[in-house]
Chain A
Amino acid sequence: LAKTTQPISMDSYEGQEVNITCSHNNIATNDYITWYQQFPSQGPRFIIQGYKTKVTNEVASLFIPADRKSSTLSLPRVSLSDTAVYYCLVGDGGSYIPTFGRGTSLIVHP
C-alpha cells in the first residue's frame, strides 16, 4: 500500500476555501485516491475519489497532478460544520482494504 502524508491539523475561517494536500510518492498505476471525512464519534464518510486530473462533486473538488504523487482536496467556502478529520487513502480500487492514517484535523472558526 502506498504511504500517504498529510498535515496533522489545519485552521480556517467560515467562508474560506480550504485546500488539504496529501503526498503519496509511491502510488501505483492501479491506485485510486480517496478522501473520507470523520466527525467526532461518527464513522468515516466518503467524500470524493479520483484517479487523475480533477474530480468535482457537490461537496468538494479533488486535484491530482499528472505525476499523481500528490493530491489536493479542496473544500469551497467552509462552514463550522466542516470541522472534522479528513483522511487521504490510496489503493487499487475495489480490491483493497482502506487503511486510515492520522488524517488532517480541520478546525473552522467563526
Chain B
Amino acid sequence: EPEVTQTPSHQVTQMGQEVILRCVPISNHLYFYWYRQILGQKVEFLVSFYNNEISEKSEIFDDQFSVERPDGSNFTLKIRSTKLEDSAMYFCASRPPGGDTGELFFGEGSRLTVL
C-alpha cells in the first residue's frame, strides 16, 4: 500500500538553527499538508499546498516557516531559526485528487527537538 514517508524520523538541533523536514507524498496525490503535535497536545494544522502554492495556512505558520515542492516528489518544511517551542512531532499528509471524502494520508512524523 502506498504511503507518505518522512525524513528524518528524529532531529535534534540547537536554538536558532535552520531545519528542513522532508516528505514524499503518495505519488498521485495533489494536496499536501503539514501538521505538528507538541507532546501531549492536539494535532495542529500548519499549512496546505496545492498547485505549487500555499492554499491555506494557520497562525502558527509565521515568517519562520516555509514550504516547498522542489521537484515532483518531495515536499519540504523549513524552519529558518528554530525556537525551543518548535519542539514537536511534525506530520506531513497528502490527499488524492478529486472525490469528496477529504481523507488525508499521514506520514509517521518527524520528531524535532530544539535545545
Contacts and interface: CB of A to CB of B under 8 A. Distances in A.
Among B43, B44, B99, B104, the one with the most A-chain Cβ atoms within 10 Å of its Cβ is B43
How many B residues are at the interface, by size bracket? 20 to 34
Contact of A94 (B89, B93, B101, B108): B101
B2 interface: no
B102 A91 contact: yes
B105 interface: yes
Interface in B62-112: 89, 91, 93, 95, 98-109, 111
Interface in A66-87: 87
A46 B106 CA distance: 9
B104 A98 contact: yes
Given A97-B56, A100-B42, A34 B102 contact: yes
Contacts of B56: 97
Interface string A46-65: 10010000000000000000
Given A99-B45, A100-B43, A101-B42, A43 B109 contact: yes
Contacts of B108: 42-43
Given A38-B43, A97-B48, A100-B42, A45 B101 contact: no
Interface in A6-50: 32, 34, 38, 41-46, 49
B60 to A, nearest CB: 13
Contacts of A43: 4, 91, 93, 106-109
Given A44-B43, A98-B45, A102-B42, A32 B106 contact: no
A43 B103 CA distance: 13
Interface of B: 4, 33, 35, 42-45, 48, 56, 89, 91, 93, 95, 98-109, 111
20 contacts: A34-B102, A34-B103, A38-B43, A41-B111, A43-B109, A44-B106, A46-B104, A49-B103, A87-B43, A93-B101, A94-B101, A94-B102, A95-B102, A97-B45, A97-B48, A97-B56, A99-B45, A100-B42, A100-B43, A102-B42
